[in-house]
């Protein structure tokens, strides 16, 4: 049901292309996503690498601690990292890095680390914040702005190109439905020439 | 002939000119005579003759009338050939003939030559289908005679006529005009010029240069030879020896040569050659047959992208006339595929021609912007207004409100759709749309030609199909929302079954749509488009969801 709802969302966006006023936004989203492909790949690599660092630091691994009091943390009604209990641990670390990159900081898990690990944790935290939040997030924002501006400058062109694809699709449908032979004779729909009549300014 | 009489008259209501009339032979049931030609040129004619020329086919209609006469003041002897079936002049040939001197013209059916006898001697015009044949002077010198029909390929449309104008005094250079015969509202005949080719007589020096070019080993040698010439005139001149073509067209197989020739520093413009285009159709005689191609075809065949760009720029700048659209008609898509810039071409008069012809009103009270289809000849726009703008056909009469404002109206012919035509049928539409969809030359979407083309296609069929698809999808979304809200939020299962069935019905349309798309494009091409996976996912996950929701009695834990 969830998959169907998500597919429905994408499909709805595609149907909005048929309206000239909305086609511009759909085109913009497509273009921005397309332009951000490389940045997103870099970002995923960063999340992956820092998640590995957190795995090595044993973050949120209360049950494997030598200290019984730390092992007992999981029995508390609420504790840091509780939200990751039902997902894969590596994925949990990736989400932790992702949240740090967005400025959502939760230092609860670091309090149970030993001194060396704690020192390393703060070093990594500073690195993640600098690279992902300060540098990379701003890169992405700049790229989105540039992409938006690019589309905005040529929006009429993109909209028309999009419309061309829709016309092509319709023509395909007509051919498939009525056959090539029949529709090639419909010269009222596919005329040889067009005559435009307009006010002469 | 064919139970009809043909009469050539010199006066009509005291007006001089030439008038060719067609009368039914059945005089008892005589109808009004039809004017095949009604041309008031204010010239007296004499020594006229009418002959029937059989083209040699079995069809009775395949006959021409050969009309000849001499004219006063202009001192010419005119021979023209009229096709009986279409009532259109095919060829017109003018030669010098002193009015005061007698002349006699007759048809020799053995060789299909029109013989002219006058005080200067005997001359002849080959009218047959044999393109050229050798004749011999009394001293044994061999000469090549080209028939009038050998220039037929210069016509753009079958309705065009070829006029071989009288050469200037002391010159054998002849202008061949490609014209269109028109008829005004009073049935008067007149001729519109389309373009003209100056056929020059080759001098010995020119012959030697041309011969040297043909003996060159490489394009570099040709470029060197061209650069030695004082001006580019020789290469722009058309010669009978080159099958009415010129050297620029022939040498379009190499970009360096074209660049050198088109960028040649031309200090003085020759008035005679200035009016003539450099690029038109030429005859290519190859081992497997004769082809009628242009320099663009030659450059395209040899992948000379730089030459193509140079030629297109030249045509847009110097031959900016819709008549030259025929140069691009069958190669436009190929040019776009090769990544050649066509924006200037789309903006030029070649593809968007603003016209002002009789009957199309220049002012009107209705100021609506309209795009209408037209399937006639681009040279026969006159008299088509009522067919093209059917809703305005009767305006201008009693309905006209004199207090209403009048607007100046202009009409533009868009020739872009015809690039999708092949053998009279629109079969390359997909190809054009695919190329436009993938082009990196986004500027073409700002041209009126493309904009109008898209608007017409969208308004006439595409939007209806997509609006219907959009409506079905909208209904599906609404049903999905109701289902989610009632079943998941409200835990109300009363209408669960009917909602499931309705959602399934809504999925039938996209399923049929994608099936037709798959049928049209083929499996390979269909699967190559990543968006089709999304469509398939949408359909099949949707159907699976409907069945799961319909058949599972315990979707939510609270249901029992």
CB contact under 8 A, B414 and A196: yes
Mean pLDDT of chain A: 85
* Cα separation, B56 vs A168, whole angstroms: 47
Spacing of C-alpha B214 from chain mean position: 33
B451 occurs within a structural domain:
no
Q: What is the pLDDT of residues B357-384, one digit of tens each?
A: 878 888 888 888 999 999 988 988 888 8
B122 occurs within a structural domain:
yes
Count of C-beta atoms within a 10 Å radius of residue B315: 24
Residue written as token pair 């199909």 = B465
Shared domain for B297 and B177, answered yes or no, is no
Q: Average pLDDT in the A4-30 region?
A: 85
pLDDT score for B11: 83
Mutate which of B369, B424, B458 to test chain A, going by most A C-beta atoms within 10 A? B458
- Sort out which chain A residues have CB atoms less than 8 A from B485's CB and list them: none
Answer whether B538 touches A (CB < 8 Å).
yes
Shared domain for B267 and B402, answered yes or no, is no
Q: How far is A191 from chain B (nearest CA, A)?
A: 5
- With CA atoms as reference, the chain B residue closest to A167 would be B462
pLDDT score for B395: 58
Q: How far is A5 from chain B (nearest CA, A)?
A: 8
pLDDT score of B33 more than 80 = no
Q: How far is B89 from chain A (nearest CA, A)?
A: 26
**DSSP letter at B245?**
B
Answer whether B412 touches A (CB < 8 Å).
yes
CB contact under 8 A, A18 and B549: no
CB contact under 8 A, A7 and B516: no
Q: Which of A174, A185, A195 sits opposite B388 (nearest CB)?
A: A195
* Cα separation, A198 vs B410, whole angstroms: 6
CB contact under 8 A, B473 and A166: no
Regarding predicted confidence, which is higher, B305 or A80? Answer: B305
Answer whether B375 touches A (CB < 8 Å).
yes
In sign, the C-alpha dihedral spanning A168, A174, A179, A185 is: negative
* Cα separation, B143 vs B241, whole angstroms: 11
Residue written as token pair 């938006």 = A148
CB contact under 8 A, A194 and B416: yes
B352 occurs within a structural domain:
no
- At residue A10, the 3 state secondary structure works out as helix
Q: Which of A173, A188, A191 sits opposite B513 (nearest CB)?
A: A173
Count of C-beta atoms within a 10 Å radius of residue B17: 19
B145 occurs within a structural domain:
yes
Residue among B195, B290, B213, B225 at smallest CA distance from B250: B213
Which residues form the domain of B394? 357-444
pLDDT score of B57 more than 70 = no
* Cα separation, A110 vs A106, whole angstroms: 9
Backbone φ and ψ of A128, nearest 5°: -60, -45
B450 occurs within a structural domain:
no
- Sort out which chain A residues have CB atoms less than 8 A from B453's CB and list them: 194
pLDDT score of B246 more than 80 = yes
**A·B CB contacts under 8 A:** 198
- The tokens of B462 are what? 């595409």
Q: What is the pLDDT of residues A129-151, one digit of tens each?
A: 998 888 888 888 898 888 888 88
pLDDT score for A49: 92
Q: How far is A173 from chain B (nearest CA, A)?
A: 6
CB contact under 8 A, B373 and A167: no
B449 occurs within a structural domain:
no
pLDDT score for B2: 66
Q: Which of B389, B437, B442 sits opposite A197 (nearest CB)?
A: B389
Count of C-beta atoms within a 10 Å radius of residue B393: 11
Provide the b/e sequence for B460-499 (b: ≥16 CB within 10 Å).
Answer: bbbbebbeebbebbeebbebbeebeebbeeeeeeeebeeb
Count of C-beta atoms within a 10 Å radius of residue B131: 17
The set of residues, in sequence order, having a beta carbon less than 8 Å from that of A55 and lying 6+ positions away, is A89, A90, A93
Count of C-beta atoms within a 10 Å radius of residue B16: 16
pLDDT score for B104: 92
DSSP string, B58-125: S-SS-EEEEEEEEETTTTEEEEEEEETTTTEEEEEEEEE--TTS-EEEEEETTTTEEEEEETTEEEEE
Q: What is the pLDDT of residues B76-94, one digit of tens each?
A: 999 989 888 788 888 999 9
Helices (H), chain A: 2-15, 20-35, 37-56, 68-71, 89-101, 115-128, 137-153, 155-178, 180-183
Shared domain for B151 and B227, answered yes or no, is no
Answer whether B478 touches A (CB < 8 Å).
no
- Sort out which chain B residues have CB atoms less than 8 A from A172's CB and list them: 430, 516-517, 520-521
Spacing of C-alpha A198 from chain mean position: 45
Residue pair B414/B214 in contact (Cβ under 8 Å)? The answer is no
Of A74-78, A120-124, B4-8, which range is least confident? A74-78
pLDDT score of A78 more than 60 = yes
CB contact under 8 A, B456 and A188: no
- With CA atoms as reference, the chain A residue closest to B483 would be A1
Residue among B109, B222, B91, B87 at smallest CA distance from B150: B91
Q: Which of B168, B198, B228 is the last residue of a domain?
A: B198
- With CA atoms as reference, the chain B residue closest to A179 would be B520
- At residue B529, the 3 state secondary structure works out as coil
pLDDT score for B559: 47
Shared domain for B291 and B337, answered yes or no, is yes
CB contact under 8 A, A173 and B375: no
Question: Helix count (H) and strand count (E) of chain B?
Answer: 17, 24
CB contact under 8 A, A11 and B535: yes
pLDDT score of B187 more than 80 = no
- Sort out which chain A residues have CB atoms less than 8 A from B448's CB and list them: 196
Shared domain for B175 and B109, answered yes or no, is yes
Shared domain for B182 and B270, answered yes or no, is no
Q: Which of A173, A187, A193 sits opposite B413 (nearest CB)?
A: A193
Band of residue B393 on the pLDDT scale cut at 50, 70, 90: low
- Sort out which chain A residues have CB atoms less than 8 A from B389's CB and list them: 197
Q: What is the pLDDT of residues B428-446, one digit of tens each?
A: 888 888 888 888 888 899 9
CB contact under 8 A, B542 and A7: yes
Q: Average pLDDT in the B320-344 region?
A: 91
CB contact under 8 A, B542 and A188: no
- At residue B240, the 3 state secondary structure works out as helix
Reported pTM? 0.81
pLDDT score for B440: 85
Answer whether B436 touches A (CB < 8 Å).
yes
Count of C-beta atoms within a 10 Å radius of residue B65: 22
CB contact under 8 A, A11 and B473: yes
B508 occurs within a structural domain:
yes
Shared domain for B26 and B174, answered yes or no, is yes
CB contact under 8 A, B426 and A174: no
Q: How far is B533 from chain A (nearest CA, A)?
A: 11
CB contact under 8 A, B520 and A156: no
Backbone φ and ψ of B229, nearest 5°: -80, 145
Q: How far is B276 from chain A (nearest CA, A)?
A: 27
- The tokens of B248 are what? 């620029």
Shared domain for B116 and B247, answered yes or no, is no
pLDDT score of B34 more than 70 = yes
Q: How far is B424 from chain A (nearest CA, A)?
A: 9
In sign, the C-alpha dihedral spanning B266, B270, B272, B275 is: positive
Residue among A79, A85, A143 at smallest CA distance from A106: A79
Q: How far is B480 from chain A (nearest CA, A)?
A: 8
Q: How far is CA A6 from CA A95, A167, B374, B538, B542, in A?
A: 21, 26, 46, 9, 11
Shared domain for B430 and B462, answered yes or no, is no
Helix, strand, coil abundance in chain B, percent, nearest 5: 40, 25, 35
* Cα separation, B289 vs A80, whole angstroms: 85
- The tokens of B384 are what? 């088509």
Mutate which of B424, B433, B454, B500 to test chain A, going by most A C-beta atoms within 10 A? B433
Band of residue B271 on the pLDDT scale cut at 50, 70, 90: low
CB contact under 8 A, B445 and A195: no
pLDDT score for B182: 85
- The tokens of B472 are what? 């079905």
Residue pair B114/B125 in contact (Cβ under 8 Å)? The answer is yes
B559 occurs within a structural domain:
no
pLDDT score of B238 more than 70 = yes
| Overall domain count for chain B | 4
Q: Which of B318, B347, B376 is the last residue of a domain?
A: B347
Q: How far is CA B26 from CA A153, B34, B61, B62, in A?
A: 73, 14, 19, 22
Shared domain for B44 and B117, answered yes or no, is yes
Query: Cα angle at B138 between B132 and B139, to 5 degrees?
Result: 105
Burial of B257 (0-12, 13-18, 19+ CB in 10 A): buried
Q: How far is A166 from chain B (nearest CA, A)?
A: 7
* Cα separation, A184 vs B378, whole angstroms: 20
* Cα separation, A197 vs B384, whole angstroms: 14
Query: Cα angle at A134 between A128 and A135, to 5 degrees?
Result: 90
Mean pLDDT of chain B: 86
Q: What is the pLDDT of residues B406-435, one digit of tens each?
A: 889 999 999 999 999 888 888 888 888 888
- The tokens of B226 are what? 């061209």
Residue pair A54/A93 in contact (Cβ under 8 Å)? The answer is yes
- The tokens of A173 are what? 């449908």
Residue among A30, A2, A6 at smallest CA distance from A158: A30
Q: Which of A168, A180, A193 sits opposite B433 (nearest CB)?
A: A168
* Cα separation, B560 vs B550, whole angstroms: 14
Shared domain for B179 and B251, answered yes or no, is no
Q: Average pLDDT in the A70-88 region?
A: 81
Q: Which of A160, A184, A196 sits opposite B426 (nearest CB)?
A: A184
- The tokens of A95 are what? 């989400």
- Sort out which chain B residues have CB atoms less than 8 A from A192's CB and list them: 374-375, 417-418, 421, 426
pLDDT score for B560: 42
The CA-based dihedral angle spanning residues B128, B133, B136, B140, taken in that order and rounded to the nearest 10 degrees: -170
Answer whether B540 touches A (CB < 8 Å).
no
**DSSP letter at B167?**
P
Q: Which of B198, B222, B244 is the last residue of a domain?
A: B198
Shared domain for B340 and B390, answered yes or no, is no
pLDDT score of B225 more than 70 = yes
Q: Average pLDDT in the A36-50 region?
A: 89
């Amino acid at each position: 049901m969830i998959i169907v709802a998500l597919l429905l969302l994408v499909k709805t966006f595609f149907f909005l292309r048929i309206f000239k006023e909305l086609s511009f936004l759909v085109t913009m989203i497509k273009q921005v996503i397309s332009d951000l492909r490389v940045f997103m790949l870099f970002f995923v690599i960063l999340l992956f690498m820092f998640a590995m660092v957190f795995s090595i630091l044993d973050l949120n691994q209360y049950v494997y601690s030598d200290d019984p009091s730390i092992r007992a943390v999981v029995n508390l009604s609420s504790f840091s990292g509780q939200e990751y209990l039902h997902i894969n641990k590596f994925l949990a670390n990736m989400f932790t890095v992702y949240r740090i990159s967005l400025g959502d900081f939760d230092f609860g898990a670091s309090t149970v680390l030993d001194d060396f690990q704690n020192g390393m944790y703060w070093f990594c935290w500073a690195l993640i914040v600098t690279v992902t939040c300060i540098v990379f997030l701003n890169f992405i924002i700049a790229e989105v702005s540039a992409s938006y501006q690019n589309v905005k400058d040529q929006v009429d062109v993109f909209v028309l190109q999009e419309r061309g694809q829709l016309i092509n699709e319709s023509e395909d449908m007509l051919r498939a439905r009525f056959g090539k032979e029949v529709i090639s004779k419909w010269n009222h729909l596919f005329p040889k020439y067009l005559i435009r009549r307009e006010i002469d300014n | 002939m064919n139970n009809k009489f043909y009469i050539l008259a010199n006066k009509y209501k005291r007006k001089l000119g030439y008038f060719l009339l067609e009368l039914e032979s059945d005089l008892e049931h005589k109808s009004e005579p039809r004017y095949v030609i009604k041309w008031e040129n204010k010239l007296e004619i004499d020594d006229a003759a009418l002959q029937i020329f059989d083209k040699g086919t079995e069809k009775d209609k395949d006959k021409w009338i050969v009309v000849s006469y001499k004219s006063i003041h202009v001192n010419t002897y005119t021979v023209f050939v009229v096709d009986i079936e279409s009532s259109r002049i095919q060829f017109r040939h003018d030669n010098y003939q002193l009015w005061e001197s007698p002349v006699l013209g007759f048809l020799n059916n053995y060789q299909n030559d029109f013989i002219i006898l006058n005080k200067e001697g005997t001359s002849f015009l080959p009218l047959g289908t044999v393109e050229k044949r050798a004749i011999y002077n009394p001293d044994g010198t061999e000469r090549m005679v080209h028939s009038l029909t050998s220039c037929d390929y210069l016509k753009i449309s079958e309705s065009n006529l070829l006029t071989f104008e009288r050469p200037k005094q002391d010159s054998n250079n002849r202008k061949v005009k490609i014209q269109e015969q028109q008829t005004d509202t009073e049935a008067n005949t007149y001729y519109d010029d389309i373009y003209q080719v100056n056929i020059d007589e080759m001098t010995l020096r020119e012959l030697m240069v041309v011969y040297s070019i043909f003996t060159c080993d490489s394009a570099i040698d040709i470029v060197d030879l061209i650069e030695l010439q004082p001006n580019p005139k020789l290469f722009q001149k058309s010669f009978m020896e080159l099958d009415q073509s010129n050297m620029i067209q022939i040498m379009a197989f190499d970009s360096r040569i074209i660049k050198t020739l088109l960028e040649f520093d031309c200090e003085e413009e020759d008035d005679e050659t200035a009016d003539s285009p450099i690029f038109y159709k030429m005859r290519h005689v190859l081992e497997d047959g004769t082809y009628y191609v242009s320099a663009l075809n030659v450059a395209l065949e040899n992948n000379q992208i730089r030459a193509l760009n140079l030629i297109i720029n030249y045509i847009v700048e110097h031959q900016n006339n819709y008549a030259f659209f025929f140069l691009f008609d069958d190669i436009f898509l190929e040019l776009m595929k090769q990544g050649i810039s066509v924006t200037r071409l789309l903006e030029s008069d070649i593809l968007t021609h603003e016209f002002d012809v009789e009957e199309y009103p220049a002012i009107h009270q209705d100021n609506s912007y309209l795009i209408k289809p037209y399937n006639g000849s681009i040279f026969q726009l006159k008299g088509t207004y009522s067919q093209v703008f059917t809703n305005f056909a009767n305006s201008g009469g009693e309905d006209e409100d004199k207090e209403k404002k009048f607007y100046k109206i202009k009409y533009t012919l868009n020739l872009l759709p015809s690039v999708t035509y092949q053998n009279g049928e629109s079969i390359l539409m997909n190809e054009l749309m695919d190329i436009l969809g993938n082009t990196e030359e986004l500027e073409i979407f700002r041209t009126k030609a493309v904009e109008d083309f898209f608007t017409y296609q969208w308004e006439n069929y595409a939007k209806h199909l997509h609006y219907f698809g959009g409506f079905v999808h909208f209904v599906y979304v609404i049903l999905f929302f109701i289902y989610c809200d009632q079943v998941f939020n409200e835990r109300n299962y009363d209408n669960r079954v009917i909602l499931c069935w309705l959602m399934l019905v809504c999925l039938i349309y996209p399923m049929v749509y994608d099936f037709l798309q798959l049928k049209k494009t083929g499996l390979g091409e269909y699967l190559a488009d990543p968006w089709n996976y999304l469509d398939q996912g949408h359909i099949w996950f949707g159907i699976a969801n409907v069945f799961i929701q319909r058949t599972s009695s315990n979707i939510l834990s609270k249901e029992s």
